[in-house]
Amino acid sequence: VTRPTLQLLLVGFGHVARRFVRLLAEQGERLPFTATVVGIVTRRHGLCVADRGLDAVAAADLVERGGLLSPPEASSPEALVNVVFDLREAAVGGRVVMVETTLLDVRDGQPARRHVDAGLHAGLHVVSANKGPAAFAWRALQHTARRANRSFLCEGAVMDGIPVLGLVRDTMPGVRVEGFRGIVNTTCGFVLSAMEQGQPYAAALAEMQARGIAEADPSLDVDGWDAAAKVAVLANAWFDAGVTPHDVARTGIAGIEPRDVLAAAARGAHLRLVASGRRLSAGVALRVAPEVLEPGDPLATLRGVENALYVTTDLLGEVGIVQRTGTLTQTAYALVADLARVAAVGAGHLQP
Ligand SMILES: NC(=O)c1ccc[n+]([C@@H]2O[C@H](COP(=O)([O-])OP(=O)(O)OC[C@H]3O[C@@H](n4cnc5c(N)ncnc54)[C@H](OP(=O)(O)O)[C@@H]3O)[C@@H](O)[C@H]2O)c1
């Protein structure tokens, strides 16, 4: 069986994208597609473009040694638009994919929304690990994708590479999701878990930053914005809610005192940041807030970096998925899984 070759334009070349290009190289023959990186665009590290493909692992080595892909002034929003525009002809056959891994801006999901939109309009498929586009503009971007006969996929937006969106989309045809509830922010789960062991809040948060798990701006985690963005993604995907993270009732963990955590732990309960959403007869109820999880609550068994999501459905009752490990490899894998789907749809093996 010949494997389709995808041409990739990487927009953003940070921790996730660099792990992703190494994972592509490591997985090689095991993947159901082959991939050629034809461009890399960053914000401050320059850009490089090569129609015939470039050595992305060497580019990752270069950036990790402190090098630049080109003079930094070469990378600008206009330069990115030009790179995308130049790929239009190559994209006609449906084999060019934008891999979007820029940073989440919780004010409006930009500039990632513009990147996704520009990619789809130029005939590229788009896969993204950035929550912004799906959290702020799911409906519009899926509409644009359908009209262009292209895919916009973002499995990495929620629980990294653990198949959450794919679980429902690909394995539960005809099932209606009524609600969901979970622990989906690794940093907050880890910090609260560490506080139960007597570790100070600041030290636990610093450990998450050192491990590259906390967002570049950790207030996105501790103020509940990351979890709210994930709730918005799920509500948009499963309820067609048309919401943004600003529609999620949100309380973070920054105000939690050690005594609150320890008081819960003393009676076998656990204080955690819980994300939830459910359909109402009219509209939706979406929430991120600290909750005391009593023993017997399936979320109460999670420790450290573990995440879980329980989905309530009409036909299958409650279905849960647990993530025990959350490293960059899992996030990078989400992009690989999305690309495998793009390749399978292109080969006619899956419905878009
Ligand atoms: N790290 C994780 O564990 C994880 C897990 C799940 C999802 N995510 C999501 O994945 C995305 C990437 O995370 P990361 O850890 O790789 O972040 P990162 O290391 O900070 O990398 C972000 C990259 O985006 C580039 N960038 C920012 N704004 C840009 C723009 N306007 N145009 C072009 N490039 C731009 C940056 O360029 P410069 O370096 O030149 O500024 C950098 O290469 C984020 O949305 C994050 O929320 C991350």
Give tens-digit pLDDT for 239-294: 999 999 999 999 999 999 999 999 999 999 999 999 999 999 999 999 999 999 99
- Cβ of 130 less than 6 Å from ligand 1: yes
Q: Residue 17 and residue 75: Cα distance in Å, rounded?
A: 17
329-349: per-residue pLDDT in tens? Answer: 999 999 999 999 999 998 888
Cα–Cα distance for residue pair 344/352, rounded to 1 Å: 9
What pLDDT is recorded for position 147? 97
pLDDT at 215: 78
Q: Stretch 59-88: mean pLDDT, rounded? A: 95
- Does the Cβ of 11 fall within 6 Å of ligand 1? yes
> Which residues are known to be catalytic?
230
**How many angstroms is it from 156 CA to the middle of ligand 1?**
13
Quick check: 12 and 100 in contact, CB under 8 A?
yes
The percentage of the chain sitting over the pLDDT mark of 70, rounded to a whole number, equals: 100
Distance of CA 37 to the CA centre of its chain: 21
Residue 121: its pLDDT value, please? 97
Instruction: Give the model's pLDDT for residue 229.
Output: 98
- Per-residue confidence (pLDDT) for residue 326, from 0 to 100: 83
Q: Is 15 in the pocket of ligand 1 (CB under 6 A)?
A: yes
CA-CA distance, 189 to 348, in Å (whole number)? 41
Q: What is the mean pLDDT of residues 160-188?
A: 97
182-198 pLDDT, tens digit per residue, is 999 999 999 999 999 99
Mean pLDDT of 101-128: 96
DSSP bridge partners of 183: 308
C-beta 292 within 6 A of ligand 1? no
Q: How confident is the model over 209-218, as pLDDT tens digits?
A: 988 888 778 8
Tell me, in angstroms, the distance from the centre of ligand 1 to residue 109's CA.
Answer: 13
Question: Does the pLDDT value for residue 1 go beyond 80?
Answer: no
Is residue 144 within 6 Å of ligand 1 at its C-beta?
no
Give 272 Cα–ligand 1 centroid separation in angstroms: 27
Ligand 1 pocket mutation pick from 100, 101, 158 by most atoms within 8 angstroms of CB = 101
Helix axes 15-27, 328-346, angle to 10 degrees: 60
Is 90 exceeded by the pLDDT of residue 79? yes
